[in-house]
Amino acid sequence: MKRVYTIRSITAFVSAAVFLVTEIVVLAAATVWAVSGFFHLGIATTVFLGVLVGLPSLYLGVMATKLAFEAETDPANQ
């Protein structure tokens, strides 16, 4: 079936994607901040932890954006 591309569906997609990615980024930043503060980590270790948490968060953000696009442009949801 053909995807539905209207102003409403694209706006809903962008809104959902921004919301989901914002939540993922805030959770990743809070995790790094909490672990770094709890264990009194240095700068290099905190940066390493940020990369360690950031890469899966980036993947989750991309997947959430893909799912939001599929959900908001699906003809069954219109």
Dig out the tokens for 28 from the structure. Answer: 């990743």
Distance CA 34, CA 22 (A): 18
Type of residue found at 63: M
Distance CA 23, CA 30 (A): 11
The answer to whether the beta carbons of residues 73 and 9 sit under 8 Å apart is: yes
Per-residue pLDDT of the chain in tens (78 residues, 90 and over written 9):
899 999 999 999 999 999 999 999 999 999 999 999 999 999 999 999 999 999 999 999 999 999 999 999 999 988
Q: Where are the domains of the chain?
A: 7-72
pLDDT of residue 11: 97
H-helix or E-strand containing 13? helix 7-38
The rounded Cα 72 to chain-centroid distance in angstroms is 16
pLDDT of residue 77: 86
Please indicate, yes or no, whether the overall pTM of this predicted structure exceeds 0.75.
yes
